[in-house]
Amino acid sequence: MPVSTRTSRRFRRHTRIRTRVSGTATRPRVSVFRSAAHIRVQLIDDVAGKTLVAVTDEQLKAIPKDAERTGKVAKAYAVGQALAEGAKAKKITAVVFDRAGYRYHGRVRALAEGARAGGLTF
């Protein structure tokens, strides 16, 4: 029996999620990647196989100060807002959220809240 690592368990969860979640041109999939230091997010049209919008915290010039969020969580919230701005530019308002096997907690949750605050619905 193979060793079950944290990464392999996440990939198994991600596979289960991806069987149910798929993006289209009118309602693309929000795909999240969270590393130890950074967070990246993409809007993906799975039908055409194209990335419509991609944002990473490394692209952001300045992270706005927030009373309730600090550090990497504040970065994730800002990335969510930047994603919503990019989606608005492409006239996208509705998306499906793919948390990629990560728990809906901390940075992943902050990113989703930032995207909702920016005007995306999911």
The token pair that represents 91 in the structure block: 């006239």
The percentage of residues in the chain with a pLDDT greater than 70, rounded to a whole number, is 98
Q: What residues contact 103, with CB distance under 8 A and at least 6 apart?
A: none
Q: How far is the CA of 71 from the CAs of 21, 75, 100, in angstroms?
A: 30, 7, 22
- In single-letter form, the type of residue at position 1 comes to M
Stretch 98-109: mean pLDDT: 94
Looking at residue 3, its pLDDT comes to: 74
SS3 99: coil
Q: Which of 36, 3, 8, 11 is nearest to 101 (CA)?
A: 11
Confidence of residue 72 (pLDDT cuts 50, 70, 90): very high
- CA 106/CA 109 separation, integer angstroms: 5
Helices assigned H by DSSP within the chain: 6-20, 71-89, 107-117
pLDDT of 81 > 80? The answer is: yes
Domains assigned to the chain: 6-117 (3.30.420.100)
